[in-house]
Amino acid sequence: MPLARAARKTTLITFFNQHNSRYPDVNQKRINDIKNTVALTDDSGVIEPNRIMIEVLVPQLKLLIESVMRMDIEIKKYYKNQDDRIIFDSFPGAGPQLAPRIFVAFGANRDKYNTAAEIQKYTGVAPVIEQSGQKTWTHWRYSCPTFLSKPLWNGRGNLYAIPFGQKRIMISR
């Protein structure tokens, strides 16, 4: 924190602009907050190990970001050559970023799932209804690949239409 407090205003503004923060009032508030910040601790036994941890984690995070970007490029190249891309492009809201990811979630093998219900169960978006005596309750699937269910939600509490053969079946909560 002492290094950030010692930084010149122009250096901080340049840093903020490089990280897509270009609102002068927001940047000024951040600068004021940095200059007026009081450290929670000055214990070097707490600060130094955490500083070292950050120095170790930042290169790993950079490598992860590069790997994800490379994967996105490869997925898009592969996706462009698929005959079924027209199905995934037709999903509402599934633009150039989401459609290839949904395609990867489903895979190219159309024989993998026989019904829309199988897809729903596998991806974890189908509810589980349990009953004991007179009591009935519904919950999410606990054992499923959650990374597959996330691309299917459209943000309005509904799921995207799932292709099945020649029919498209709309599923929702």
Q: What is the pTM of this model?
A: 0.54
Q: Which domain holds residue 165?
A: 82-169
Same domain as 104, residue 34: no
14 lies in some domain? yes
Band of pLDDT at residue 167, cut at 50, 70 and 90 = very low
User: Residue 60: pLDDT above 90?
Assistant: yes
Same domain as 33, residue 102: no
Q: Is 121 exposed, middle or buried (0-12, 13-18, 19+ CB in 10 A)?
A: middle
User: Residue 150: pLDDT above 90?
Assistant: no
Question: Residue 57, Cβ neighbours under 10 Å: how many?
Answer: 11
Same domain as 35, residue 86: no
Same domain as 86, residue 162: yes
2 lies in some domain? yes
Same domain as 106, residue 30: no
46 lies in some domain? no
74 lies in some domain? no
64 lies in some domain? no
- The token duo for 12 is 């901080």
Alpha helices (H) along the chain: 2-6, 9-18, 24-35, 44-80, 85-89, 98-106, 116-123, 146-149
Number of domain units in the chain:
2
22 lies in some domain? yes
**Cβ pair 76, 100 in contact under 8 A:** yes
164 lies in some domain? yes
Band of pLDDT at residue 170, cut at 50, 70 and 90 = very low
Same domain as 160, residue 95: yes
Diameter over CA atoms, the chain: 70
How far apart (Å, rounded) are the C-alpha atoms in residues 110 and 172? Answer: 22
- The token duo for 58 is 């930042």
Band of pLDDT at residue 162, cut at 50, 70 and 90 = very low
pLDDT tens profile 70-127 = 988 998 899 999 888 888 888 877 888 888 888 887 787 878 888 888 888 888 778 8
Q: Which residues of 20-34 are buried (b: 16+ CB within 10 A; e: fewer)?
A: eeeeeeebeebbeee
Same domain as 165, residue 86: yes
11 lies in some domain? yes
Give me the pLDDT at residue 166, please: 39
Same domain as 145, residue 92: yes
pLDDT tens profile 14-54 = 999 999 998 999 999 999 999 998 888 989 999 999 999 99
